């Protein structure tokens, strides 16, 4: 199968909502109704440092029903990173397929070309030190530097999607074969906590509605009609959210009491002595309480959550910091349509990383290099922790589940 264009995108689909469907419709309206779409999707943990609503196989099914053709897993070493690392891993995986010609992503910029121009701006280490030295977060420091360079850039930092869009554009620099395809976001801003019945929903607002009020009509309306019955059934079949919180609190308390700041510094992406602040405040309460106490204007709650999860995942034989530095080491298939199966056949010739359509008991032992083994080990641990927190058990699902197939 040959197509003049194949679109790639990086997503969390937590959950897949009408805005995601709009994005797929938009790219196909631009490049053709039969356009193949490859989605790189976070697995068992999200970029906010949170457990997704549903496991990666259920979210893969939603993505395929919603219009994606092939879903690849974004390793936890990519999903548990800042926007820069998240974008880098996603773009590198799409480039490694050898098929992707366009990268689609959302943004709030009225003039996407302004984002492209800003992505080419370079700032010196001294400029970054000065901006960050004022206690600003990375995003706030980037906004200040850009605005000082050109006041017109200031409007580009009104939404989180623009920050991530900038990182996608920067990650594309080594891959001129992939063209950016920004899709302007309509309706509520990325990260909004309020559902807008007249616009495209925010995933944050949808999750907030579900967690606070259940599967309401407002929540159902934010989902594509074809996905509503399935999502309703999953939601009603799920465990109460407080059960997740109690289990996670116990895991974290044990890890912190049996560990040390030095151990956290050695295995996570912690910096600037933040590990000492975490240890000083570790008796603040559970996971959520500790995040609230540790976070500041400089250190966002998402960053703290990511660090805590990095620590929970790490062990003496597999440290998150080391595995993340290696860059993507494999292409793991989570699901496909008939078109996706054809893409996968083509990737057997074009892919620049090993293809994983299943994990066997000897897969780790036969890993081609340490980076491959460590990343896969962390993905398996992430899924085990997801299941332990949400179900109270571990059943080795990564070894048992096959890719979701929808024909």
At 197, is the pLDDT very low, low, confident or very high (cuts 50, 70, 90)? low
- 147 with 252, same domain: the answer is no
Query: Which residue, 10, 20, 17, is CA-closest to 78?
Result: 10
Q: Is residue 322 part of a domain?
A: no
Q: Do 23 and 78 sit in the same domain of this protein?
A: yes
Question: Residues 148, 292: one domain?
Answer: no
Q: Is residue 179 part of a domain?
A: yes
Residue 38 located in a structural domain: yes
Do 106 and 216 lie in one domain? The reply is yes
| In a domain? residue 402 | no
Percent of the chain surpassing pLDDT 90:
73
Is pLDDT larger for residue 326 or for residue 156? 326
**Residues forming the annotated binding site for ATP?**
10-23, 106, 161, 185
Which of 186, 221, 237 is a domain's end point? 237
220-278 per-position pLDDT tens digit: 999 999 999 999 999 988 755 667 888 999 999 999 999 999 999 999 999 989 999 99
Shared domain check, 129 and 103: yes
Host domain of residue 296 = 244-314
Angle of helix 241-257 relative to helix 287-294, nearest 10 degrees, comes to 70
Same domain, yes or no, for 129 and 112?
A: yes
- Picking from 166, 165, 143, the residue whose alpha carbon sits closest to that of residue 155 is 143
Q: How far apart are CA 211 and CA 350, in angstroms?
A: 43
Domain check: are 153 and 95 in the same one?
yes
Q: Which two three-digit tokens encode residue 219? A: 């929540």
Tens digit of each residue's pLDDT (9 = 90 or more) over 346-384: 999 999 999 999 999 999 999 999 999 999 999 999 999
CATH number at residue 177: 3.40.50.620
Q: Of 209, 237, 265, which residue sits at a domain end? A: 237
The reply to whether 191 and 308 lie within a common domain is no
Does residue 146 share a domain with residue 105?
yes
Alpha-carbon gap, residue 67 to 23, rounded angstroms: 10
Residue 272 sits in the same domain as residue 215 = no
Is residue 69 assigned to a domain? Answer: yes
Is there a cis peptide before residue 365, judged by omega within 30 degrees of 0? no
Residue that is last in its domain, among 219, 237, 255: 237
In a domain, 272, yes or no: yes
Q: Are 55 and 45 in contact (CB under 8 A)?
A: no
284 and 178 in a common domain = no
Per-residue pLDDT reduced to its tens digit, 56-96: 999 999 999 999 999 999 999 999 999 999 999 999 999 99
pLDDT of residue 294: 97
- For range 129-141, the mean pLDDT: 78
Q: Which of 192, 269, 284, 247 is nearest to 292 (CA)?
A: 284
Q: Which residues are annotated as a binding site?
A: 10-23, 106, 161, 185
Q: How confident is the model at residue 1 (pLDDT cuts 50, 70, 90)?
A: low
Among candidate residues 126, 105, 124, the one with its CA nearest the CA of residue 116: 105
How many whole angstroms separate alpha carbon 221 and alpha carbon 3?
34
Q: In terms of C-beta density within 10 A (0-12 exposed, 13-18 middle, 19 or more buried), how is residue 116 classed?
A: middle
**Which of 42, 29, 34, 47 lies closest to 2, judged by CA?**
34
pLDDT grade, residue 198 (50/70/90)? Answer: low
> Is residue 407 over pLDDT 70?
yes
Q: Check: CB of residue 234 under 8 Å from CB of residue 52.
A: no
Is 340 a member of any domain? no
Q: Tally the domains of the chain.
A: 2
In a domain, 390, yes or no: no
263 with 136, same domain: the answer is no
- Nearest alpha-carbon partner for 48 in 12, 88, 10, 91: 12
| Structure tokens, 9 | 């995108």
Residue 301's CB is within 10 A of a number of other CB atoms, namely 16
Kindly state the tokens that stand for 158. 């009104």
């Amino acid at each position: 199968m040959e197509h003049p264009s194949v679109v790639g995108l990086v997503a969390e689909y937590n959950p897949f909502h009408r805005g995601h469907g709009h994005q797929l419709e938009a790219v196909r309206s631009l490049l053709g109704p039969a356009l193949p779409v490859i989605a790189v999707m976070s697995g068992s943990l999200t970029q906010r440092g949170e457990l997704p609503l549903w496991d990666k196989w259920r979210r893969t099914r939603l993505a395929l029903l919603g219009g994606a053709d092939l879903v690849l897993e974004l390793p936890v070493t990519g999903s548990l990173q800042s926007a820069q690392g998240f974008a880098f891993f996603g773009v590198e995986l799409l480039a490694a397929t050898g098929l992707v010609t366009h990268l689609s992503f959302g943004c709030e910029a009225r003039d996407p070309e302004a984002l492209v121009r800003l992505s080419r701006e370079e700032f010196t280490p001294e400029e970054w030190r000065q901006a960050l030295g004022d206690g600003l977060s990375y995003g706030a420091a980037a906004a200040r530097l850009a605005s000082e360079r050109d006041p017109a850039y200031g409007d580009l930092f009104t939404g989180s999607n623009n920050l991530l869009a900038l990182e996608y554009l920067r990650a594309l620099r080594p891959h001129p074969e992939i063209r950016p395809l920004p899709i302007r976001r309509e309706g509520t801003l990325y990260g909004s906590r309020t559902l807008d019945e007249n616009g495209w929903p925010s995933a944050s607002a949808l999750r907030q509605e579900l967690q606070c009020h259940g599967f309401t009509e407002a929540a159902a309306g934010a989902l594509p009609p074809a996905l509503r019955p399935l999502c309703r059934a999953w939601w009603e079949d799920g465990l109460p959210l407080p059960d997740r919180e109690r289990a996670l609190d116990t895991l974290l308390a044990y890890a912190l009491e049996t560990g040390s700041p030095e151990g956290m510094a050695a295995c996570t992406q912690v910096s600037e002595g933040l590990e000492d602040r975490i240890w000083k405040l570790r008796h603040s309460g559970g996971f959520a309480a500790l995040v609230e106490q540790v976070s500041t204007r400089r250190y966002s709650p998402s960053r703290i959550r990511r660090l805590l999860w990095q620590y929970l995942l790490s062990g003496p034989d597999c440290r998150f910091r080391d595995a993340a530095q290696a860059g993507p080491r494999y292409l793991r298939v989570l699901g496909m349509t008939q078109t996706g199966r054809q893409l996968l056949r083509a990737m057997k010739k074009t892919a620049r990383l090993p293809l994983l359509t299943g994990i066997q008991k000897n897969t780790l032992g036969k890993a081609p290099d340490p980076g491959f083994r460590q990343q896969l080990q962390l993905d398996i641990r992430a899924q085990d922790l997801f299941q332990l927190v949400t179900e109270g058990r571990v059943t080795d699902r990564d070894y048992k589940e096959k890719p979701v197939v929808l024909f």
